[in-house]
Structures are given as structure tokens and as C-alpha cells.
Amino acid sequence: MNVSFKICSMFRAALVIAALYVVPVKAESVNLWISSFQDKAYYEKMVEQYRAKVDQEFSANIQAFGFREMPDKLAIAIKTGTNPPDIVQLDEVLFGSYLAGEVPFVDVAERVKKAELDKGIVPQRLKLFAQGDAIYGIPQSLSAMVLYYRTDLFKEHGIAPEDIATWDDFADKGRELAKKNQALIALDPTYFEILLRQKGSDWFDRTGKMFPSESEAESVMDWLYSLNDEGIGLIPERASIFDPVFFSSMVNYGEVLTIIGADWYGLDMIQQFSPELKGKWGVMPLPAWKDRFGVPGRRTSTFAGQGLLIYKNSKKVDAAWKFIEWVMKDNEANVERFLGGNSFPAYQPAWEDERLHQPTEYFNNQKFGDLLSRLAPEVPEVVMHPKRPQAVFLFQENFFSSLMYGQISPKETIRQMRVMLKE
């Protein structure tokens, strides 16, 4: 036999044998940054389900940062290029700050259309992380605002939810309670934006003008001041309904009967910090504002909500997108988001699952999912602007308390905020 032929045959056989023992190289982990520890547990579970259902080679390195901490971490990672995320969970309140220059996220508009997410996600929510025709993020929650109320204390004071159809009704009931030294609502800086948007206005309009309706902005500020001045509302010790101290010092002792909050506020925060009040909380639509003809308007509003975005310089864009598409469309992933105490999904096809419409034991066996799906068409669109994050935090930290105690007028607040944000 020809020696060279014999050597070649032996070499080919060796390659075949070697191929049988090759250990497949596992794909590099996708870096996933989450902005809350509650969501981290959810996404860890989703990665396991994704591996079982879609891609057994998929892996993700999940890190959790605080809501306020995330932008700083992200800025450093982008600037230094050191271990940046492939997928980042960002709150829509903070997203506007990335629109001032080159947006550091992947435009997924074409991918959204191909996946038909544009047909499934509530339209107003899909516009949250968009600029022009570009879409940079996918919202994970409906974030519809409702009024959470103490069912036991409402009964004690002879109040029925149907008695409070408008904010005028609400104020009237509040005045009756104030005479008994009982506050009706806890007051928070976020209420200004929530109530302004419920009226049909916003911080900015599409042209970028701040306070496009000064009269509406002034009326909301005046109304919030009157709630505090008349004893209808109470300002929490640290001026925030998002602080655990608020629950331990006010909520759990029945000092307030109602709180305005999104779906995720009740599913997560109220249940987390007031487990002992299980069955004593209820949910109802927000009371409506009346227009100049006395006609009641929408019964919900919106503020904040998380979305998933892909970092522009990621080397794993396709893998990141496939996971995002799955977690937004998979029925079990959407149901788990609600039942696990996270949020009500923005993906409408998932609403057909009966588990989203079962009585919620914590909320006095009300069908919370039913209420949220009914309110969905009324959820207003949010006008995104590069200075929206600054406006939100400037109002919260510099003006809210002064307004509530009459130390500054609404008109002067608007004037000063315009000057400061222009600078």
C-alpha cells in the first residue's frame, strides 16, 4: 500500500475519532442588568425557562442595581467599555436622559415588527422607549394607575368606592374625614405628573415646550396644596410613598385610607411592606377629572415602568434580542410577571389567560387583572423628552414640599423650573 495514502487514511480516521469527543463550547453569557432585586429573581427564573424551552446553551450573568444607582453604573460602563451590559432594564423616567445625544441603545424597530410585538403590546406603552421611528426598548408593564384603598376603613367610615367617581367627590369625602382627624390620602411628588397626565397634559409637548398648558399645571399644584392644607392628605415622613418607612409609620397604622399607584406598586411594594394587611386593601379606578362642561374624563393615568434595552456596542445583539422577544411573548413568562408580584404585562395576547383574571386574595379577592385590562385603553401616552428626568427629580427635591406648605406659588414654581431646566 502507498505509504502516503496510508498516512492520510490514518489522519482522517483520527479526525473522525477526535470529532466524537469534542466538547461543545458553551456560548458566552449575556450580561443582563436589572434595576431591582425583585426583578432579578424573576429574570433568573425566566433564564431557566428559556433554557428549557428555547436554547439549552443560553446563559446569562444577571446583576441587580438600585433604581437611582443604575444610570451611574451604566454611564461608567459605557464610558470605560468595562464589562458593559448586553441587556439593561431601565425605567422610562430615566430613559429620556439618553435622548440628548447619540442614543447608546440598539434600534429594534424592525425586529419589533418582525416579531409582531407592535400588534401585541399596548400602543401607548410601546412608544415609551421610542424616538421618531426608532424603538430602543420594550416595556414590560402596563403601569396603569389605580387608587388603592383600605376596604376595612372605608367600611368603618361608611364610604363605598362608587361614591368616589370624580376628584370632586374625593375631596368632599376627604373634608368629612378631616373633621374626624382622619386623612384620606398620602401625598407624593409623583402625583403631580400622574394627575397632570390624567388631565391630558404633560411636562412637555411634542415640540419640546415645557408646561404646554400652564393653567392645567397650576390647577393640579393648587389642588394638591388644598389636600394638604385642609387635612385631606398627609405627606409621609420622608415625603415619599416609595420609602419602606412610609408603610411602617403610616400605612400599617391606618393613618391614610388611599394611595395612588401603578399596577406594580400594589403587586410589589404594598404586599411586600404590608403583608399583615392582606385582604384589607382594595383597588378601584382613579376618580375622574371633569372638563369645563362637567363631563368626567379618563379613570387612569401612568407614571414609571421598566423596559428592556440592548446596549449598542454589545457583541451579542441577536442572542439578547431572542431572549427579550421570548420573555415578552411567552405566555408563562407574562403570567409569572403578574402572579409573582411584579407587574401586569403590556403584551395583550397574554391577557386571555384566565390566571390573570382570578380573584386576588391580597386585594380582598377582587379581580385586579380584570380592572387593569379594562383601564388599558385609557392609559395616556407619555411625551418623552431629554429633560424629563431632570424635571421629575427637580420637582420632587426642590419644589414639592415648598408647594405643599404654601411657601411658593404654582406660577413661581413653573417659572423657576423653566429657568433651571433651560440652564
What CATH architecture does domain 145-301+382-422 belong to?
3-Layer(aba) Sandwich (3.40)
What predicted TM-score, i.e. pTM, was given to this entire model? 0.91
pLDDT of residue 70: 87
pLDDT of residue 239: 84
Site of grid cell 382622619: 182
Rounded distance between C-alpha atoms, residue 121 and residue 334, angstroms: 12
Question: Which residues lie below 8 Å from residue 205, measured CB to CB, with a gap of 6+?
Answer: 212, 383
| Ranges of the chain with pLDDT below 70 | 1-27, 423
> What is the DSSP code string of 299-316?
S--B---EEEEEBTT-S-
> Over the stretch 95-149, which tens digit does the pLDDT of each residue have?
999 998 899 999 999 999 999 999 999 999 999 999 999 999 999 999 999 999 9
The amino acid present at 404, given as its one-letter code, is M
pLDDT of residue 286: 98
Question: Which residues lie below 8 Å from residue 228, measured CB to CB, with a gap of 6+?
Answer: 187, 234, 235, 404, 405
pLDDT of residue 130: 93
DSSP class of residue 88 equals: E
Residue 215 neighbours by CB distance under 10 Å: 10
pLDDT of residue 238: 84
CATH superfamily for 30-141+303-352 is Periplasmic binding protein-like II (3.40.190.10)
> Over the stretch 181-196, which tens digit does the pLDDT of each residue have?
999 999 999 999 999 9
pLDDT of residue 27: 59
pLDDT, mean over the chain: 92
Q: Where are the domains of the chain?
A: 30-141+303-352, 145-301+382-422
pLDDT of residue 423: 62
pLDDT of residue 18: 36
The reply to whether domains 30-141+303-352 and 145-301+382-422 share a CATH topology is yes
Question: Which residues lie below 8 Å from residue 194, measured CB to CB, with a gap of 6+?
Answer: 145, 260, 301, 302, 303
pLDDT of residue 269: 94
Select from 59, 276, 49 the least CA-distant residue to 152.
276
Select from 144, 85, 84, 139 the least CA-distant residue to 112.
139
pLDDT of residue 86: 97
pLDDT of residue 102: 92
> Over the stretch 232-248, which tens digit does the pLDDT of each residue have?
999 998 889 999 999 99
Radius of gyration of the chain measured on its C-alpha atoms: 25
